[in-house]
Amino acid sequence: MARLSGWGRTTSSLCDDERVSATDAAAALASAGARGLLVRGSGCSYGDAALNTGGTALTLAPEDPTVHPHGVVVAGAGTSFETLLRTTLPTGWTLPVLPGTRHLTLGGAIAADVHGKNHLQDGSIAAWLDEVVLLDGAGRRWVTRPGDPEFAATVGGMGLTGMILGATLRLLPAEGTQLEVSNQRLPDLDQVMAALDVAARRSRYAVAWVDAFARGRGVVSEARWTGSPCRRSYAPAQHLVAPPVPLSVVTPLTARAFNAAWWRLPGHERTSVTTLTSFFHPLDGVRQWNRLYGPRGFLQYQFVVPDGAAHLVGDALGELTAAGGAPFLGVLKRFGDASEGLLSFPRPGWSLAVDLPPTPGLGAVLDGLDTRVAAAGGAVYLAKDARLSAELFEDMYPRVKEWRDVQTRLDPEGLFRSDLDRRLGLVRRA
């Protein structure tokens, strides 16, 4: 047994930690005990999605991906985005969806139906998948495609429909070797949201960083590829390692000071040319940066609300600071159409993500926000969550009933289990 935790380190559990190759995956199904089995990727989900207390947490060995000249990659589910980029970029192609870390695996990306800074224009990863290969709870191997119920239940299905063994993913041409990033510094949240809306329609990639301590002032960044089409190798540097610290370095005081300094950075009012790593994966520059929150860890609260409830973004920032919290840099994104994933998080509107060290009263503020997000037709992101209630989950994910019908068919004996599933009652139990 090994003690595993989510990226936020607020939750940890003892799991039987096993590693298998895709060819041995079927045998692993047979050896699962009473607490069931879960496939774990790189553990980049923040809460309890990749934990299975007392049961098996299996990781799949990475396999070498194959890139086809017409811009398609075929890869095993245990392959990281870093390895995928190392393989695709020298051939002139990039991944269509780039979340904020390169360490996640393809399987974890599909199970969470991840999004990047281009959701308004390009959707989530589900929109780019031609096939997903799945081993279900009864040991059957499926090649699922968009339009299939098994596909709709597996993308965003948080690993509970079976073991994703691999996938075929369409790629985007890497139109340049670097990114031209234009930044605008804006004094309040209304202006940030107006500018982000324009930026996300004008440029493929757009995101805003907002300061919860100062009326949501922020910096809107939009980016496009520049330079000659990319045929370069990809070798991201990672020199620094965060040390373990006895107490969180993020407190209301330091968060306020950091946010203010960040907003004032001279680069935040100009256009510059930068690398893929510094635009898409700035946090990966420091290994294990999550340790800076100390042994108690931190929560990431990410929600999406439709345009009609956009005021909830400002309400959340205001309430989190008023309650004495330490909301670290907030990240605001503009979302477009939902994918066919029955439990997928992205839907049209506004998404806010904030990192929060646990502070007194934080739970009550988040509970209140959850209720209003659910009432507005929004949702909290399951890949980041560690604390949502089962009741509000049902409101936020109304297609869960359809999902349960397919899930029960794929896993009739209830082999696939996770702590997230137990907390939220995702799977229908006999």
User: What does the binding site for ligand FAD look like in residue numbers (CB under 6 A)?
Assistant: 7, 38-45, 49-50, 60, 77, 99-101, 104-105, 107-109, 111-112, 114-116, 158-159, 163-164, 283, 383, 418
Taking the C-alpha atoms of residue 169 and residue 224, their distance in angstroms, rounded to an integer, is 22
Q: CB nearer to ligand FAD: give 149 or 368.
A: 149
Q: CB nearer to ligand FAD: give 172 or 323.
A: 172
CB of 44 closer than 8 Å to CB of 32: no
Enter the tokens of residue 411: 């896993």
DSSP, collapsed to helix, strand or coil, labels residue 379 as strand
State the minimum distance, in angstroms, from the CB of residue 7 to ligand FAD: 4
State the minimum distance, in angstroms, from the CB of residue 152 to ligand FAD: 15
Q: CB nearer to ligand FAD: give 113 or 370.
A: 113
Do β-strands 2-5 and 205-211 pair in parallel, antiparallel, or remain unpaired?
A: unpaired
Order of strands across the sheet with 217-226? 271-274, 178-186, 217-226, 205-211, 330-335, 349-356, 299-305, 379-380
Give the number of other CB atoms < 10 A from CB of residue 247. Answer: 11
Q: Which residue has the tokens 């008023």?
A: 322
State the minimum distance, in angstroms, from the CB of residue 70 to ligand FAD: 25
The answer for 156, left when phi > 0, alpha when psi is -120 to 50, beta otherwise, is left
Q: Which residue has the tokens 């979302």?
A: 335
Q: CB nearer to ligand FAD: give 116 or 297.
A: 116
State the minimum distance, in angstroms, from the CB of residue 185 to ligand FAD: 22
Give the number of other CB atoms < 10 A from CB of residue 338. Answer: 18
Task: Indicate the angle between helix axes 362-375 and 311-322, nearest 10 degrees.
Answer: 170
CB of 23 closer than 8 Å to CB of 61: no
Q: CB nearer to ligand FAD: give 47 or 325.
A: 47
> Please, which residues bridge with residue 5 across strands?
12
State the minimum distance, in angstroms, from the CB of residue 11 to ligand FAD: 12
State the minimum distance, in angstroms, from the CB of residue 361 to ligand FAD: 26
Q: CB nearer to ligand FAD: give 5 or 319.
A: 5
State the minimum distance, in angstroms, from the CB of residue 144 to ligand FAD: 12
State the minimum distance, in angstroms, from the CB of residue 322 to ligand FAD: 27
Angstrom CA distances, 426 to 121, 231, 255, 375, stand at 30, 44, 35, 20
State the minimum distance, in angstroms, from the CB of residue 163 to ligand FAD: 5
> Please, which residues bridge with residue 18 across strands?
58
Q: CB nearer to ligand FAD: give 39 or 354.
A: 39
- Residue 279, phi then psi, degrees to nearest 5: -85, -45
> Please, which residues bridge with residue 206 across strands?
222
Do β-strands 205-211 and 217-226 pair in parallel, antiparallel, or remain unpaired?
A: antiparallel
Q: CB nearer to ligand FAD: give 166 or 314.
A: 166
Sign of the C-alpha dihedral computed for residues 245, 251, 257 and 262 taken in this order: positive
Q: CB nearer to ligand FAD: give 126 or 323.
A: 126
State the minimum distance, in angstroms, from the CB of residue 36 to ligand FAD: 11
The answer for 126, left when phi > 0, alpha when psi is -120 to 50, beta otherwise, is alpha
User: Per residue in 360-391, is it b (16+ CB within 10 Å) or e — as a string?
Assistant: eebeebbeebbebbbebbbbbbbbbbbbbeee
Q: CB nearer to ligand FAD: give 133 or 323.
A: 133
